[in-house]
Amino acid sequence: DKTGTLTTNQMSVCRMFILDKVEGDTCSLNEFTITGSTYAPMGEVHKDDKPIKCHQYDGLVELATICALCNDSALDYNEAKGVYEKVGEATETALTCLVEKMNVFDTELKGLSKIERANVCNSVIKQLMKKEFTLEFSRDRKSMSVYCTPNKPSRTSMSKMFGKGAPKGVIDRGTHIRVGSTKVLMTPGVKQKIMSVIREWGSGSDTLRCLALATHDNPLRREEMHLEDSANFIKYETNLTFVGCVGMLDPPRIEVASSVKLCRQAGIRVIMITGDNKGTAVAICRRIGIFGQDEDVTSKAFTGREFDELSPSAQRDACLNARCFARVEPSHKSKIVEFLQSFDEITAMTGDGAN
């Protein structure tokens, strides 16, 4: 298992982008970097290596709003240890921490205690909208969303859905993009540009885990939705407006590379198996020595879907040679273990959670 087993699971957002301009079938992006790599809510947002004020960008205000509302986590200051810790899931805590660093409503932070400082910028955003219900994450759509109503309803402020998820699914279900405060049709060229940047972030030396952030500006009313069956959720998360993307880093644990090396010396084949995307998975494999830096990973790395599309004999060969499986479901794990055991291999699965 990768996340939290081979990696630290101390997620932090280090890059993000929003749309800058759209001309015909092409677009330009505003890209930002974020300092600070722990759960401490202190850090700066930079553009072209210079600190910026996030409230000057409409797209960043909306991005922070989605990160704060489409989120069940919080930061907690542990006085005994003198550190900020996560309450909730690591990916969501990274977004909570980002919102604090962005401070899109220019909240006064001077004179706050460390406990007060933990969630103050998130609290400001949460006072503007009321979360009515959540369409929980599911593996089939790889996204989740919240339905929110404004605390002070007016003609211009209506109910909205805010969503986040694996970029490809969110963008495939998107029809528009947000450019500043305007809504523009998403063309194939614009979609291609957005996806190429996300692929680059996910497979470069940083191996970022990317999340797309989107809104549904005119959702159905609650009474028109059938929420008792989660199979319906994907219908309500269509016609989305793509707002931006964040890239977060979950660095490998320091001790992992030497452990992988020891395993190899002992004749143990190490296979990484993860729900994360293939680009990120392969890049982490390179960083910890499961793959060499320039090793060709053809026939050595598969997604769950690629594995499913193989014939039984090709699946058998994949399990003999592969060292990385990405975007897998729990059912793939048991299938892979069954193949390995059929070769008389002794198989151990290390990890947490569903593993």
Q: Are residues 219 and 331 in the same domain?
A: no
Q: Identify whether 1 is a catalytic site residue.
A: yes
Q: How confident is the model at residue 207 (pLDDT cuts 50, 70, 90)?
A: confident
Does residue 134 carry a pLDDT above 80? yes
pTM for the model stands at 0.77
Among the three residues 249, 279, 313, which one is the final residue of a domain in this structure? 249
Torsion angle defined by CA atoms of residues 135, 137, 140 and 143, in that order, rounded to the nearest 10 degrees: 90
Q: Are residues 245 and 154 in the same domain?
A: yes
Q: Are residues 24 and 65 in the same domain?
A: yes
How large is the average pLDDT for residues 104-121?
97
Helices (H), the chain: 58-69, 90-102, 114-117, 120-126, 167-172, 188-203, 233-236, 256-265, 278-288, 304-308, 312-321, 330-342
Q: Which two tokens stand for residue 198?
A: 């996300």
Among the three residues 224, 249, 274, which one is the final residue of a domain in this structure? 249
Does residue 213 carry a pLDDT above 70? yes
Q: Which of 1, 25, 58, 344 is catalytic?
A: 1
CA distance 146 to 12: 22
Q: Which two tokens stand for residue 71?
A: 């989120």
Q: Are residues 61 and 126 in the same domain?
A: yes
Q: Are residues 204 and 272 in the same domain?
A: no
Q: Does residue 291 contact residue 300 with C-beta atoms inside 8 Å?
A: yes
CA distance 114 to 333: 43
Q: How confident is the model at residue 75 (pLDDT cuts 50, 70, 90)?
A: very high
Q: Are residues 111 and 130 in the same domain?
A: yes
DSSP per-residue codes, 25-64: TEEEEEEEEE---SS-S---EEETTEE--GGG-HHHHHHH
Q: Are residues 289 and 214 in the same domain?
A: no
Q: Which two tokens stand for residue 25?
A: 């079938």
Q: How confident is the model at residue 7 (pLDDT cuts 50, 70, 90)?
A: confident
Q: Does residue 354 contact residue 5 with C-beta atoms inside 8 Å?
A: no
Residues in the chain: 355
Q: What is the CATH number of the domain that holds 116?
A: 3.40.1110.10
How high is the pLDDT of residue 353?
61
Per the structure, the count of domains in the chain is 2
Tell me the residue range of the domain where 273 lies: 256-342
Percentage of the chain exceeding pLDDT 90 = 78
